Amino acid sequence: MADIEWTLRWEADLSADDHTALAALFARYFPEDHATFTGPRSWMGARPEARVIAYDNGRPVAHLGFVRRMLRLESGGSQLVGDVGLVGVDPDYQGTGLGRRLLTEATLALTGQGLPFGYLTCAPELVAYYTAGGWRQSPGQVTRMIDTHMRPETFTGPAMVLPVTAPFSEWPTGQTIIRDGLEV
C-alpha cells in the first residue's frame, strides 16, 4: 500500500473527470445503487462539501464525503457536525487495512475543520467497523431526514458519532436528530 496517496478534496476543486472516476468507484462498492452513479454524478443524496480520497496510481480506491451541517434537536437547539457519507473502499482493496486508514484520515480532516463531532447513520452490520475507528453508537438516537427519493424518513437504525474536538459526553444522546436535508 506504499503507493496510496491520501488527500482532502473540496467539491469545487473536482473536475468532471474526477467525478466520473469517483462515480465508477461508488458503483463498485454500492452495486445496488450503481444506476445512481452514472457519468460525472458522484453523489447520492446531499452533495459532499469535502471528500477524503485515497488514490492508487491516480485512481480513487477509497472515499468518505462530508458536509458541515447543523443538526436540529427535537427538544430544541442544534448541534454542529461533519455529516458523513459515501464511505467505502474499492472491493479489490478491502481487507488490506485501507478502510481503517480511511477513518483515521477522516478524523484528521474533521479535526482540521474544527468540528466538534462527526455524524453518520449506517446499517447494523457496519457498527463494528465504525467503532474500531473511534466512532460511538448513540443509543436511542432516531434521525429524521429526507431520503434519496425526496420523501421524509425516520431512520431508527444505528446513529454513529465521532467525538472530534468535543467529548462524547456533550453529544445529545437519546434525542431525535433532525437532519433537515438529504444524507450524504
What single string gives the DSSP state of each residue in 69-117?
EEEEETTS-EEEEEEEEEEEE-GGGTTTTHHHHHHHHHHHHHHHTT-SE
**Alpha-carbon span 72 to 10, nearest angstrom:** 25
In the predicted model, what is the mean pLDDT of residues 91-115? Answer: 97
- Paired residues of 120 in beta bridges: 160
Please check whether residue 60 lies inside any domain of the structure. yes
**Alpha-carbon span 161 to 118, nearest angstrom:** 6
Would you state the pLDDT for residue 68?
Answer: 97
Please check whether residue 154 lies inside any domain of the structure. yes
pLDDT 10s digits, 150-162: 889 999 999 999 9
pLDDT 10s digits, 110-152: 999 999 999 999 999 999 999 999 999 998 889 999 887 888 9
Please check whether residue 115 lies inside any domain of the structure. yes
In the predicted model, what is the mean pLDDT of residues 12-40? Answer: 90
Would you state the pLDDT for residue 180?
Answer: 87
Would you state the pLDDT for residue 35?
Answer: 77
| Residue 31 pLDDT class (50, 70, 90 cuts) | confident
Would you state the pLDDT for residue 150?
Answer: 86
Nearest to 163 by CA among 119, 100, 109: 119
Please check whether residue 184 lies inside any domain of the structure. no
Question: For the chain, what is the domain count?
Answer: 1
Pair type for strands 152-155 and 142-146: antiparallel
> CB burial class (10 A; 0-12, 13-18, 19+) of residue 132?
exposed
Taking the C-alpha atoms of 119, 123, 124 and 126 in order, what is their torsion angle to the nearest 10 degrees? -70
Residue with cell string 431512520: 155
Output b/e per residue, 152-182; b: 16+ Cβ within 10 A: ebebeebbbbbbbeeeeeebbeebebbbeeb
Whether this model's pTM surpasses 0.75: yes
In single-letter form, the type of residue at position 13 comes to D
Please check whether residue 16 lies inside any domain of the structure. yes
Q: Containing domain of residue 88, as a range?
A: 4-178
In the predicted model, what is the mean pLDDT of residues 162-184? Answer: 90
Please check whether residue 95 lies inside any domain of the structure. yes
Indicate which CATH number applies to the domain containing 54: 3.40.630.30
pLDDT 10s digits, 53-95: 999 999 999 999 999 999 999 888 899 999 999 999 999 999 9
Would you state the pLDDT for residue 1?
Answer: 60
Q: Which backbone phi and psi does 113 adopt, to 5 degrees? A: -90, 0
Please check whether residue 183 lies inside any domain of the structure. no
Please check whether residue 133 lies inside any domain of the structure. yes
Q: Is the pLDDT of residue 38 over 70?
A: yes
Would you state the pLDDT for residue 154?
Answer: 93
